[in-house]
Structures are given as C-alpha cells and as structure tokens.
Amino acid sequence: MELYQLSAHEAAGLLKKKAVSSQELTDALISRIEHVDATVESFLTTTFEDAVATARAVDKKIAAKEDISPLAGVPMAIKDNICTKGVRTTCASKMLENFVPVYDAFVTKRLKEADVPILGKLNMDEFAMGSSTETSYFKKTKNPYDAGKVPGGSSGGSAAAVSANLAFYTLGSDTGGSIRQPASFCGVVGLKPTYGLVSRFGLVAFASSLDQIGPLAKDVTDAAMVLSMIAGHDAMDSTSVQLPAQDYVSGLGADIKGLKIGIPSDYMGEGTAPEVKTAILDAVKVYEGLGASVEYFAMSASKYALPAYYIISSAEASSNLARYDGVKYGYRSEHYGNLLEMYQNTRSEGFGEEVKRRIMVGTYALSSGYYDAYYKKAQQVRTIIRRDFEAAFGKYSVILTPTSPTTAFRFGTHMSNPLQMYLADICTVSVNIAGVPAVSLPCGFDSDGMPIGMQLIGQSFDEATLLRTAYAFEQSTLFAQARPSI
C-alpha cells in the first residue's frame, strides 16, 4: 500500500509509532497531487511549502517526545470559501479571484493549532451555489470514478480530493447538501454537523442560517476525528453553541442493537433511480441484521423543502452578496462612467450565471409586495419541517434516506435546466432547514461502477449516535474500502 492510500487515522497511528514521518506523508501526497490532479482538477491553490514546514515541525516534536494532537502531521486541504490568512480564498469566483484574507477562519485556526499540514485550497461551485462544481469560474473538477461525470457540489473539489487520495481528509461547507451530495457521488464520507456546532467565522457567507462547515473523509473514524478537532464555541460567531468538548471517536464501536431507525417513504418516491433504491433497501437489511429496529413512516412536509430552501437561501444570498460592489475589495469593472455603472458592470462581469440567477430570485422574494407571499411563507414552511423532524425523533434515533436520488451525472446534463439541477438536492435540503446533523456514507455502486450514498440524519447535537450508526454499517460492509483506479 502506498502512503497516500492510508486513512487519516491509520496515518496518525503510524506517526505515533514513528513508523513514518509527517514529511514522508506530506511528500507522498504532494507527489500524488503533482501526478494526478491534472486529471481531477480539484486544487485551485497549493501551499506545499507551508505544508512541508508544518510537517517538519511535527517530526521535531515527535523526536523530542512532545505531546501532539490526534491529527498532527496528517496533511489535508480546505474548500476555497474558508478563509486562510495570506492564502487566496476565491470562492471559485472572478469576483474574488485575487482576494487574500488577513485572518484565518475559526476552523483554519484550529487546524494550525493542531499542527496539521495544509496542502491548499479546493475547487467548488461559485460561492457554493451549485450541485456539480460546474459553476466554478476557474475549471470543472472531475469525478475520480469517471472523468466524464461531475463530482457533485458545491464541495466537489473537497470530495474528489479525498476520493482520489490527494488528501487524507478535507473540509467543505454544506448549505443544502454541499458536503453530503459530492461525498455520495465520489464514494467518500461527508458529515454536516448540527447548525452551531462548528463556527462559521471565516466561512464566506452564502446563506447564513443554513451554512455549516464539516469534514469529508475516507471513513467514519476519520470524520469523527476531524469533528472532534473543529467543533467548539467561538465568540466570533453569534450562532455558535457553547457545549463541552466531546470525543466523537470513543463511542464508535458501541452496539446498535435495539436502535430505532426510521425511513421516510417520501424520500424514495418518483425520481429515485432503481439502483439507488435497491442499495438503500440492502442497507436496511444490514441494519436489521445488526439488531436495529427499522420502520417506515411519512414526512409529509418534505415535499415543500426544496422550494422553501431555494427561496430562503436565495434571499440570504441576495443580502450577503450585496457587499461585492467593486468598492471595498474584490473585482472592479474597468468600464464605467459613473458610480451606478460601476456597480452594474462589476456585478455583471464578476458573478457567474448561477450566482446572478439566485441573487435575482432572492431579491424578488424580498421585494415589497412579495415578501409575505414568498420569504415569509418559506419561513413558515421551515417551521413545519422542523416540527416534522422533532416528531420523527420522538420515535426514532436516526432517520435513513438516500443521499441523492441518482448517482453522478455527465457534465452538461443539467446546466441548461436549473430546476433539474436543483432536484439533485431533494434529499438533503430539509436537513439544513431543520438545522440537524447528517452524514453520507457509501452503500453501493450502480451498473456503471459509480458510488451510491446513504444519508443518516440525527437529532440536534447527537453526532455521537449518528456516527456510531454510520460506523456500524461501515464495519459490516466493504464499501468504505473501495477507491477509484485513477
């Protein structure tokens, strides 16, 4: 086995035993990126010198028998909408093509404090708006299982990098499925934590009431290790919740016998590919074999989640992206005769089509005469969806659904039909609306050899049960061990 094929926890274990050095791990990944990323195109910016310097510092600490953090010396990479001091943070947009933050995001600071080598910044849909990474201003990241298919989005670069063994793990952001859907398409584990568990400080805002940072990893153990590192209260984020620090790894192997799992029948209706449905039903049998109690139920409000999500997220995007006006920072048009023209031309030239589409939808929904009919109504639907989840969790510890109704599709398939693209998020958006945690993990392959993802949804701040349930399935199957032959 090559070093880059290790999981993060395997690499960390070898480091602690002095069987390998952090510099060896880092060099192995840098070499892998240099040979493979020309095909995958997951990185927008590389920071190899900084990564090697961090690795050498970790090796010195190990040689001196100093205590190190659980993931110290294990290289990773970051989605390019998470601020990194002194390193470009573009959001894959022309608008921020040359933006270099003067501060680190909370999660970036946590990584640096833990002595984690950071290999660079990863491609994404522009401003996290998309489900395929096709809206990036710079390039289109490829699915490592089939270069003619999308990796999902908006954290497509983060998922593809883990799948292709270009990083031991990555960070992404999830506003409506942007960690879980690409994790499903690329055959890796993707975790969206409970809203408020991980600070959003330094995450470039798309929809502030929905955004959440989380890990993409090779297996559940790695995801749990990363969550333990990045979770925590932050005074710089008013929505950050103050909870005791938790080790999410320690309880992974506990028995799930008697655990109640609910399956909402509404999530496997028309539009779900037959092979996806089969894989999910096979996963249900695995859980029943492990002694879990599985029951089907209805979540009637789920059919309203998609329209409510796109109204709320677009309205918040309209507000958040108003700051990009060519005055303070970011792109400014060279062609204007007055201030109004400068605003118009800057935003017309600096934003891509999908971002402009959502800004216009959001502005319309917030406009006088339409606010009550659209935005207020969507927020009322949000309350109904939250109550649906609360009622479900009164009976079940975990809810099981497909992550996506289909496997990865070919480039260009939905670019001319935005509504069809939005349907790729139909299984994931309700989780963000309710603010609860969810994880996607591999549960099968279709006839073309493309990964199928299963989504497990948990109660707020009960990531421990969620991850334990995911781990039980992972340990009973071989899907987590599969990797593309790129």
Q: Which residues are catalytic?
A: 79, 154, 178
What SS3 string covers the chain?
CCHHHCCHHHHHHHHHCCCCCHHHHHHHHHHHHHHHHHHHCCEEEECHHHHHHHHHHHHHHHHCCCCCCCCCCCCEEEECCECECCECCCCCCHHHCCCCCCCCCHHHHHHHHCCCCEEEEECCCHHHCCCCCCCCCCCCCCECCECCECCCCCCHHHHHHHHCCCCCEEEEECCCCCCHHHHHHHCCEEEECCCCCCCCCCECCCCCCCCCEEEEECCHHHHHHHHHHHCCCCCCCCCCCCCCCCCCCCCCCCCCCCCEEEEEHHHHCCCCCHHHHHHHHHHHHHHHHCCCEEEEECCHHHHHHHHHHHHHHHHHHHHHHHHCCCCCCCCCCCCCCCHHHHHHHHHHHHCCHHHHHHHHHHHHHHCCCCCHHHHHHHHHHHHHHHHHHHHHHCCCCEEEEECCCCCCCECCCCCCCHHHHHHHHCCCHHHHHHCCCEEEEEEEECCCCCEEEEEEEECCCCHHHHHHHHHHHHHHCCHHHCCCCC
